[in-house]
Structure 1
Amino acid sequence: MTHYPKITAETLFDAVVVANGAFPKHETLLRILHHAPHVIACDGTAETLLNAGFTAQQMTVIGDGDSLAPRLKRQLHFISISEQDDNDLTKATRYVCTQYKQTRQQLTANRRLRIAYLGATGKREDHTLGNIALMVHYYNHFNVQPFMLTDEGIFIAARGDCSFDVTPGQQISIFNFGCQQLECQGLRWPIYPFETLWQGTLNEAVHSVVQIKADNSYLIYITWAFY
C-alpha cells in the first residue's frame, strides 16, 4: 500500500511547475515555491515570478513563447517548444522528466518523480479542468507523482491501494478514472466505483488516516482546512 503523508511547507519535491493560472497566495504554497530545488515556469508565468521577487537564475521557462515578451525571452533561460499537441504544463512536465532521466532509471514504483504544480487552476475554467485531468495522465504515462496544490486544497493522482494522512474533519473528494473496485476506510460516507465525476465529491475524513482500496487510477482532493 502506498502511503501519502501530509503536504506541509517542508515537503520536498523534485521540481515545482508554475502554470499561468491564479498565482498562489497560501503561505504553505509560497514556502514550497521559494524552497523548490527547480522551478519551471510555463511561458508567461515567468513575468509573474519576476514580479514576485524571483530572479532569472532561479527558473527555467518552457513554452511556445506566445505570452512572453521578447525582452524576457532574451533575459531568461527560455526553452522554446513550438508544437501545439501538448499544452505548456505538459511541455514543462516532459522537460522535468528529461532532466531527471538518469535519476528516473533508478526509481521504483514507490519513488516516482515528485512534482508540485502551482497556478494550474483559476482564470480559465477550461484550462483548470484540463490541467486537473492531466494529473492522472502524468501519473499513468510519465511515471511521475503529481501534486496539484491550490489555495484551497490538494489534488493527488493515485492508483491501487493507498493511505493518506489527514485530519478528522477535512473535506475530501474522490474522482474515479477507471476503477471497477473502489472502497475506503476513514471517510464519513462509503465510496464505490463512481460512474460520473460529481458522485465522489464532498466526503469527509473521520479518522487521521484515509485508506483507499482500488484496482485502477483515481484522483483524490483534500482541502487545506483543519491542517
Structure 2
Amino acid sequence: MTKLSVNINKIATLRNSRGGDIPNVVKAAVDIQNFGAQGITIHPRPDERHIRYQDARDLKTVVHTEFNIEGNPIKSFKELVLQVVPTQVTLVPDAEDAITSNAGWNTVKHRDYLTDIIRTFKEAGIRTSIFVDPDPDMVEAAVETGTDRVELYTESYAVDFAKGEKEKGIAPFVKAAEKAREVGIGLNAGHDLNLKNLKYFKENIPGLLEVSIGHALISESLYLGLENVVQMYLERLK
C-alpha cells in the first residue's frame, strides 16, 4: 500500500492568521497519525508564514510515523534538518517568496550541488528525496546525486484530470515511474492530489511508495471532518 503523509502547513497557516496557538499543529499531527496516516510532512519557509522552525522541533517528539521535512536547502533549512533528524528530507527548489512549490529540480544542471547536500543528510542517517518534474531524464540523473528517492511534481496531472483528460495527464508520470523502477530509485509523489484524482493516479503509477498531500486534504476536511477524510484517502491508496 502506498503511504499517506499528511502535510500540515495549512493548519499552521490558520493558526498564524490569528496568532496564539489555535489550532495546535502538534495536536493535529498526533490526531492525524491516530486516524491512520502513515506520515507527517511539513514545509517550513524562511518567512515562517505557516510552519515555523520551532514547529519542526516540537513535532519531532510526537511524530512516531514517518516525519518528512521538505524545502529549499538554504543554510538555515539545512541546519534545522540536521538538528531535528527527520525520517526523510525532500529537497524542493522553491523561491523564498513562492506561494507554493511550482517546479522540480533540474538534476542535470544542479547535480553537483544536490550531491553535496544529499551526502550531508545521508551521513546524518536521513533518507533523501528530490522534487522533480515527470521527466525520465530528470529521474535518471537524480540517481547520480545519491538520493534515495524522487518525488514527482503532480500539478500537471491534477490540471489535466480536472479537464477530463486523465489519460493525457497520467502519461508522462507513467514514463517517469517506469524510469525510476529501471534505475532503482524510490518513488514519491505530491502536489494537488485530492480525493477525486488520487485513485486513478495510484492505479497507474507502478512502485509508488508515498504521497504527500496537504492543501486538498485539509480543505476537504472542512466539509467532511479530518478523521473521515484521512480514512477516505487511505481507501484510495489501497
When the two structures are superposed, what TM-score results if normalisation uses the length of structure 1? 0.33
Name the structure with the higher strand share: 1
Normalised by the length of structure 2, the TM-score is 0.32
Q: Which has the larger radius of gyration?
A: 1
Report the structure, 1 or 2, having the larger helix content: 2
